[in-house]
Structure 1
Amino acid sequence: MSATPGSEAPTPVPTPQGAAGGPGAAGTPGGEPVDRARAALERMGAPAALAGPLVAALGPDAGAEVSADPWRLLSVSGVTPKQADFCARRALGEEASPDDPRRGRALAAHLLRRAAREGHTALEEQHLAGALRSAGVRSVEPAVNAALDAGDVMLFEMFDEPDDDFDEGDPGEMPDPDRWYALTRLGLAEQDLGEGLVRLAGTSEPIMDSATAAETVEATAERLGAPVDPRTAAALVTVALRGVCVLEHGAGARAAVAHTIACAAAIAADSEVGIAVAAPTAQAAAELNAALAGLGAGDSASAVPLATLLETRARGVHGRGSERPIEAGLVVVAGAMWLDVERAAALVDACADGTHLVLLADRAQAPSAAPGNVAADLASSRTVHVAGLPEDPDSGPIARTAAGVADGELEEASSPGREVVVVPADSASAAAHRAVQLITDSIPRALEIPPERVQIVTATRGGEAGADALNTACKERFNPGPGAYGGLDAGDRVLVTADGPGYTAGDVGYLHVGEDGGESAGDGRPALAVELPGGVLCPVADPAHLRPGWAVTVAAAHGSRWPAVVAVFPPETRASRPQVYTAVTAAQRHLSIVQAAGPALAEAVREKAALPRHTRLAQVLREG
């Protein structure tokens, strides 16, 4: 759809959730900057409720900036180019041109933000140019240059791998570079990540020689009373020798992963380098520690959430970094498909020179919810060492179901203990009814798994069987209340949607409210905290970081596992093999699949085998 300023008046610019006193309003800025932005918005026909989000995006001078450049409205999520064009015509009159450099600048950044929401870290020049032309920009180069000059966007020039075969010794002319454009924040993070990984690979020395590492693995296996598969032993020798490793595994490798971490801890202890083990979320760390405890590995290899390891304070702000690195010579991260480029860059920055970094990754899972495809890019770059871990001898029906999905087949595995159950539904409303019935009654009654250990994972957020509707239904059943705290009440199960002190996006816990309306930071708001798995209570300064969490999307569930999962696929599901696989592998003991998508779901698993992402990391690594 063209977004030229000469088009008809569009649908009104949407009022964002959380504005004008709605849920999340406590997290939006206020005062004079918002008043000035509100006045500027009203003059151009935009909703005054956009003032808070606009100030959050542009800063205290947002009113003046949007008055001088109405296309700055595109900095607010949910505003479309057509809507920004409408406001520009109201503000600028005949001066509003399709090729106005301000419009081109805003559109270039907007298109890259949209790509980032789809998981891409950068776009090639031709791709970005085509998208700009589709948006009505006739002169692409000035538009892109305006975005570069403003600092919103960065250009990266990259060369293909050289051909080793020269004709009679003549190397010929250098090829033209590939030109990639990225949002400045993401472009720098991906560049830093690649360079940091090259640094670790180049500065590392073996922790142990291969013979000693093999002996340590054998001794640890004997101590734990659990034999280690030869493939696991070989992978651990690689860990001892190499600076950066990706260890790939499938859904049925729970024991192999636990063995790997326990033996890696022994290698680190015997070589006196120390180990740090991290998992994506508090839930994932608790599950991994339970597996390690089952082996009798003790506290030597206890996992912590990555946010705890990095001492995360806010998005992109960490207590650990190059000036204060992680105090371990061996760093192991489980569930590494969850890692996006920004978190991975922070992790690598916090690894001192010579640190051995190990990523445990199930490559059949979906890429991270945030931009990047770190573990897959690393493995495919051919610049780091990759090894495989074996499946457990008896991995169980859930793992067998997941393995079928990984092979493109959606089939219910034989499960005499009702570990996997497929529940058909003929509509979204029927799917929602069955999902709520499963978490409130069927699973607790039949399997003695309490509701608080059952997680609904749904393919969509909207719709009758989406996360929002299912959360409304669950709240009515489990914790009815007025929604006194941005739509939430004490005791609600909540999903954390942003990084903060001690928590990360994707954590699920229960909301606590300060006694007798206790206040936080002297600002008059009640003190809110989330109790995470393991009993850790994390204060949450911004209520906008929370939303109901009885039901979460597949993207939000990525990286975590629960004893029981109800995976819901409504009729409108636009599924893929990685998405279905990620939902299935979120379950430990029981999986109910509420299937309302019909034959389209099996077709998506069979035909849509991957979720491609445009990233630069592999090229950065190859260039060294």
Structure 2
Amino acid sequence: MPEVSPHPSPAPAAESGSAAVTQASAALARMGAPEHLARALVAALGSTAAEQITENPWLLLKLSTVTVEQADYCARQLLGAQASPDDARRGRALVERAIRQEVRAGHTAVEERQLERALRSQGVRDPKTALAASQEAEEIVAFETLDGDEDEFAEGEAADLPEPEVVLAPAELGAAEQRLGEGLARLAATSEPIVDAATAAEIVQARAEHLGRHVAAATAAAVVTVALRGVCVLEHGAGCDAAIIDTLACCAGIAHESELGATVACPTASAAAALRARLAAAGAGGGIDVVSLAELLGSPGTGAPETPGAGSPAPAAGLVIVTDAMALDVLRATELVDTCGDGTHLVLLADPCQAPSVGPGQVVSDVITSRAVAVARLPEDAAPGPVARLASTVAAGELAAVDAPGREVVTVPAQSAAEAAHRALQLITDSIPRALEIPAHDVQLITATNGGEAGAQALNTACKTHLNPGPGAHGGFDAGDRVLLTRRGPGHAAGEVGWLREITEAGGVVELRDGTRVTVADPGGLRHGWAVTVAAAHGGSWPAVVAVFPPETKGSRPQVYTALTRPQRHLSLIDATGGELARAVGEVATIPRRTRLVDALRTA
């Protein structure tokens, strides 16, 4: 069998060295596959992995490092002449793999015709049969969707409707996206105004006078929208800090006056801690319960009821505001909406210029496109800082220099990936702590790539050597390492960055940026976190950020913008792309995804 790279994620500790891994190793050996795949295979298929791949060798395609050619080779070794390109087991495995690749790219649905073409290119002569088998096994689900916009028809024109297009989705994801649309429609239909428009305006005025703040007319109008509508999106840009604080303070006032209460949920604990600090600095922290989304939803598998509206209402009372809502993927958004009881007012506070979520979907963008909920825009600050001004120029399609007399923004050119990595290490270990008095533990490296000399893996290796050297005695980690939590667990979300404080029998004890400690039982849920990718940084916030764009960066305007909106005080931008970064900002304006939420909302 051709060489296969080891799977990058270690298996859960409970499976490592177990009988299941030993049996999987033997089964792999019988079909000529590398035995080092056994742990990853058990992690993907469970304790019966050996029996499953003996019955269906194409299940090797569950591992992203195994190619179709390699799986076919193993099938021939195991099945001999019975291994056929048209084997139903092969067809189903290829369907599942193709859809999984699309989901990893952020899509929630794939055109049926696209999948048929992909299957034919891999030797499947009857793709429709393979797709039907996957549907019968309830692995995928089909939906009909109509492209186009009813507003495109001229007045009085009796145009023919387009033929419905069939799209396919993984069963769980497809059901979740449909339920999300229905759940948002439920909240919009069942919620009554918290107060009437005049009363809302009076409360805003009173709140502003109490806090000694001037609330802009556009901000006041947005708060009135929150009071009147069950679901709304409040758009903002990089320079809207004052409007965001005013909005949250006034919403809390309305919730207090109506005795509903308000909860503000941030994507991560670090973002929640940063927001609490901003509210306190503005004197607006009273009466606002700021939590992480993980705290709001609870541990995986214990939060959302199966039926929209069933079970208990959200842990917050009548008003739930989600900040950095662009970070919401379909599954988390569905869980959030499922948890909200009838009548809850849900507010998505979002910057549409940011990249879509790490997980599949583009929830906020689809909600806006559907026109099924209210949308309001918060005003820009009168005098945004240099970081916000730079991000705003990127949002407009230009990577331009900005005046930063306090060194809030520093651009560092680099001629190679090696030089970019050297500069990044220099900034986090010396320059920023020395010149700006921001300690290294408050500096986050964010890079556009995972691999390569200036990718997250290489930068983490260098940072560990300089900032917390050690033997990596605990699966490559030592106490004191900065870590990224890659999977959701009790008390924490994926994307949290913290510090590994100790290793216990229960797992690694990680201190998050807000000071809370969580235990991560699965070592596969940890990565070193001095450097993270832009995708992993989505929803996070740090005092200082070093954004690294190596020569191989395939950038886009939303990706660059997302990186530039993570710092609170300082940004160092390392550009080793030789002009390609500016071109990407100017020309690659969107990250397109194929989703179904607009249809689900319009037909709910």
Compute the TM-score of the two structures, normalised by the length of structure 2: 0.95
Q: What's 1:66 paired with?
A: 53
- Residue 568 of structure 2 aligns with an amino acid whose one-letter code is Q
Partner-residue secondary structure (3-state), 1:426: coil
Q: Distance in 1 between matches of 2:317 and 2:94?
A: 44
Q: What's 1:519 paired with?
A: 505
Q: What's 2:111 paired with?
A: 124
Aligned pair 1:190/2:174, yes or no?
no
Q: What's 2:8 paired with?
A: 17
Q: Which moved more, 1:301-310 or 1:95-104?
A: 95-104
Q: Distance in 2 between matches of 1:456 and 1:359?
A: 28
Q: What's 1:325 paired with?
A: 313
Q: What's 1:542 paired with?
A: 522
Count matched residues: 598
Q: Identity across aligned pairs (percent)?
A: 58
**1:601 Cα deviation after fit:** 0.9
Partner-residue secondary structure (3-state), 1:26: coil
Distance 1:18 1:340, change over 3 A: closer
- Residue 207 of structure 2 aligns with an amino acid whose one-letter code is T
Partner-residue secondary structure (3-state), 1:318: coil
Q: Distance in 1 between matches of 2:414 and 2:518?
A: 38
2:244–2:378 contact (8 Å) kept in structure 1: yes
Q: Which whole-Å deviations, capped at 9, do the CAs of 1:198-240 have from their partners, x for residues lacking one? A: 1111111111100000111111111111111111110111100
Q: Which whole-Å deviations, capped at 9, do the CAs of 1:386-416 have from their partners, x for residues lacking one? A: 1100111111111110011111101121111
Aligned pair 1:261/2:245, yes or no?
no
Aligned pair 1:84/2:71, yes or no?
yes
- Residue 211 of structure 1 aligns with an amino acid whose one-letter code is A
Aligned pair 1:618/2:598, yes or no?
yes
Partner-residue secondary structure (3-state), 1:502: coil
Runs of 5+ unmatched residues, structure 1: 1-8, 521-526
Q: Distance in 1 between matches of 2:69 and 2:552?
A: 26
Distance 1:541 1:119, change over 3 A: same
Distance 1:17 1:174, change over 3 A: closer
Q: Distance in 2 between matches of 1:160 and 1:438?
A: 49
Q: Distance in 2 between matches of 1:101 and 1:13?
A: 25
**1:179 Cα deviation after fit:** 1.3
Partner-residue secondary structure (3-state), 2:13: helix
Q: Which whole-Å deviations, capped at 9, do the CAs of 1:29-84 have from their partners, x for residues lacking one? A: 55333333222211111122222222222233222221121111111232222221
1:102–1:146 contact (8 Å) kept in structure 2: no
Aligned pair 1:554/2:540, yes or no?
no
Q: What's 1:524 paired with?
A: none
Q: Which moved more, 1:92-101 or 1:436-445?
A: 92-101
Aligned pair 1:495/2:475, yes or no?
no
Q: Distance in 2 between matches of 1:606 and 1:547?
A: 33
Q: What's 1:226 paired with?
A: 213
1:25–1:486 contact (8 Å) kept in structure 2: no
User: 582, 600, 603: which one pairs with 2:583?
Assistant: 603
1:412–1:421 contact (8 Å) kept in structure 2: no
- Which aligned pairs between 1:106-255 and structure 2 lie closer than 5 A? 106-159=93-146, 176-255=163-242
2:233–2:376 contact (8 Å) kept in structure 1: yes
**1:18 Cα deviation after fit:** 4.8
- Residue 481 of structure 1 aligns with an amino acid whose one-letter code is G
Q: Distance in 2 between matches of 1:64 and 1:220?
A: 65
Aligned-residue CA RMSD in angstroms?
Answer: 2.1
Compute the TM-score of the two structures, normalised by the length of structure 1: 0.92
Q: What's 2:562 paired with?
A: 582
1:254–1:291 contact (8 Å) kept in structure 2: no
Q: Distance in 1 between matches of 2:418 and 2:561?
A: 24
Q: Distance in 2 between matches of 1:82 and 1:388?
A: 51
Q: Distance in 2 between matches of 1:161 and 1:25?
A: 46
- Which aligned pairs between 1:328-407 and structure 2 lie closer than 5 A? 328-407=317-396
- Residue 519 of structure 1 aligns with an amino acid whose one-letter code is E
Runs of 5+ unmatched residues, structure 2: none
**1:319 Cα deviation after fit:** 3.3
Q: Distance in 1 between matches of 2:533 and 2:152?
A: 50
1:18–1:25 contact (8 Å) kept in structure 2: no
Q: Distance in 2 between matches of 1:145 and 1:384?
A: 36
Partner-residue secondary structure (3-state), 2:356: coil
